[in-house]
Amino acid sequence: MFKKVQVDFRRCASLPFAIFVTSLILILLAVAEFLLQTQLGQAFRNLAVQYPNSSLAEWRFVSFNPDFIDDGTSISICAAATFGLIAGGVGIAWAAVNWWRITRISIKRLGIMMCIISSANAILSIGFMIYISVSEAKGAIPEQWDDLKDGAITREYYVCTALPFLYPDAERLFGFPACDVAKAGRYELFVIVCVSAVLAAFSIIQVRQKRREWNIEEQTWDPERRHGEKTKMFSNVMAQMKTKDKAASNPPISNTPWAQSPATTPVEKPAAAVRAQRSSLYGYYQPL
């Protein structure tokens, strides 16, 4: 009832095994990135502390979740982790299909899909890394805290520079080392970019190596092509048989006089019969 699946472990020393390991590492890094961003999000709670050296009459507070925070960097990190998770999943699926030789799934299409997704993931991850690096470099604290505008600083800059500028013991307010978590998330993005680039390179190399093998398999095992060749061969045979039947039913006609048909061969009459016919015609037309 159940078909026994045999695994060839010699394939573990090949390029598909390298793709499998790289994809697995990329998935683990993406999951760890999500956990770090979740932990960092706990620092931005709807709480506020009193502004340093201010009285309650002034009613000045510093929010843990201010409106001027630029969330684009955090969204970019989560997007890079999501794309890495997808690329890693496709890489593992392709390696598994290649090992187990599952015929229900097209290995060629899945391999091309893996190549496209891994390449797109590498390009997008590099773009996210450049955007985050530029955004972190633009962060600056104005002379007055109230002069901060929307999108002025990132989350990492807020927990590592801006808030510690007012409260040196900011980690005590957060309850955990939020700055270390934010930096770890950004540094891990660099690792995700490197692993994504390696996976894309492996995918491109694997597809180029498999292209010749796929072409041979298509020519050998493509049922539609084989059916078309058989149909063409059958048509040629039938045409030859019809030509032979037509040639057998219509024998060639020779140009020699004795080979002509009786209907077309002239009949020679005796001279006496010709003279008698002429005299009878003369006698018939003479009274007229």
- Whether residue 279 is contained in a domain is answered as no
For tokens 């770890």, name the residue: 184
- Whether residue 280 is contained in a domain is answered as no
Cα angle vertex 119, ends 117, 121, to 5°?
65
- Whether residue 209 is contained in a domain is answered as yes
Both structure tokens of 150: 């929307």
Both structure tokens of 147: 């002069």
Both structure tokens of 203: 């995918």
Can you tell me the distance from the alpha carbon of 99 to that of 12, in angstroms, rounded to the nearest whole number? 9
Total tally of structural domains belonging to the chain? 1
What pLDDT does 1 receive? 46
- Whether residue 242 is contained in a domain is answered as no
Can you tell me the distance from the alpha carbon of 161 to that of 179, in angstroms, rounded to the nearest whole number? 9
- Whether residue 71 is contained in a domain is answered as yes
Give the 3-state secondary structure of residue 252: coil
In this structure, is the dihedral angle defined by the CA atoms of residues 130, 132, 136 and 139, taken in order, positive or negative?
Answer: positive
Give the 3-state secondary structure of residue 15: helix
The amino acid sitting at 15 is L
DSSP conformation letters of 180-216? HHHHHHHHHHHHHHHHHHHHHHHHHHHHHHHHHHHHH
> Which domain does 199 fall in, by range?
9-221
What pLDDT does 22 receive? 94
Provide the pairing of β-strand 61-63 with 69-70.
Answer: unpaired
Q: Are 37 and 112 in contact (CB under 8 A)?
A: no
- Whether residue 75 is contained in a domain is answered as yes
Q: What is the 3-state secondary structure (H, E, C) of 80-121?
A: HHHHHHHHHHHHHHHHHHHHHCCCCCCHHHHHHHHHHHHHHH
Both structure tokens of 142: 């104005």
pLDDT, tens digit (0-9, with 9 covering 90-100), for 64-109: 778 778 888 899 999 999 999 999 999 998 888 877 766 555 667 7
Give the 3-state secondary structure of residue 268: coil
Longest dimension (CA), the chain: 161
- Whether residue 216 is contained in a domain is answered as yes
Residue 144, sorted as left (phi over 0), alpha (psi -120 to 50) or beta, turns out to be beta
Q: Which segments of the chain have a pLDDT < 50?
A: 1-2, 5, 7, 9, 12, 221, 254, 256-261, 280-285, 288
Q: Are 162 and 51 in contact (CB under 8 A)?
A: no
DSSP state of 57: T
In this structure, is the dihedral angle defined by the CA atoms of residues 204, 16, 112 and 130, taken in order, positive or negative?
Answer: negative
Give the 3-state secondary structure of residue 165: helix
- Whether residue 48 is contained in a domain is answered as yes
Residue 70 CB partners (closer than 8 Å, separation 6+):
135, 151, 152, 153, 154, 155
What pLDDT does 157 receive? 86
